[in-house]
Every structure is written in structure tokens, then in C-alpha cells.
Amino acid sequence: MRFGVVVLTNAGGVDARSVAEGVANEALGRPLLRAASTEPLPFQAQRRTIDSGILQSYVGTYERNCVQVRVDVASNGVTLVFPSPRGGEQSAIAAAVGQDAFLTVETGESIQLLRGVEGQVTSLLAGGVCYSRI
């Protein structure tokens, strides 16, 4: 059996991915990926070990249209801190899957750190949005 789940919402603060995963779990009568959406995703990508100096080069604040994302070092990855739709801040841990490439542990979202001509990190690509380093 093959099927798909699409969730469309315009309600602020609703995590459409979690809703879709819950609907799929109910339809199958078993967890599709994981028992609860708060558990880490079972990655198929191989996690990589990144040199601490390279990880440190990602640390900083990135901005687009007055929205700021802060990047800090985490255990062999990075933590992204960004505004929550419900107010305040929320964070996401992203595991390294390559140099300058990460996947968020909870949602599997692709995160890329982009470098300029001189090799310095200049921007962050997350959720299809490019944030410039400030």
C-alpha cells in the first residue's frame, strides 16, 4: 500500500510536519518513522565528524527581513535559535552530514552554511530562506 499525507495550514504555530506524521501513524496503525514527533528522526544519512575549528566558524547571527537566526556550536553539529511563531525563541539541533551541511534532528530539515569567495561563512540557508551573516 502506498499513500501520501498533505497538510495545509495558515494557522500560526501549527507544525504541519508533525500533524502529517501523526495522521500517517494513525492510518498505518503504527509509527511511520518514530513513536513521537519529539524523538530524533532515524537518519539514513551518515553523520560526520566536523573539526571544532570549522564548527566555530559557523557561530554567529544571520538575518533576513529583520528575522534573526543565531547559530551556536552543539555536540558535532550546531544549534539554531530563531523566533517562535508563538512568541519568544525556539531552538533546533542540527547534526553534521557533511562540511557546511546539516540536518535538523527533529524534522530532518536541510541546513547549509554558505561560503564566500575567500572561504568565510557568509550566509545560512534554512527552510529555503537565505539569511546573511551580520
pTM of the model: 0.71
User: Could you tell me the mean pLDDT of each successive run of 10 residues in the chain, 134 residues long?
Assistant: 81 75 85 76 71 92 95 89 87 90 87 94 92 96
* pLDDT given for residue 112 in this prediction: 95
Locate the domains of the chain by residue range.
1-39, 52-133
Whole-angstrom distance, CA of residue 49 vs CA of residue 36: 27
Q: How many whole angstroms separate alpha carbon 42 and alpha carbon 54?
A: 25
Instruction: Report the CATH number of the 52-133 domain.
Output: 2.40.128.50
- DSSP three-state, residue 79: strand
What's residue 75's pLDDT? 78
Residue 43 has a pLDDT of 63
89: burial class by Cβ within 10 Å (0-12, 13-18, 19+)? exposed
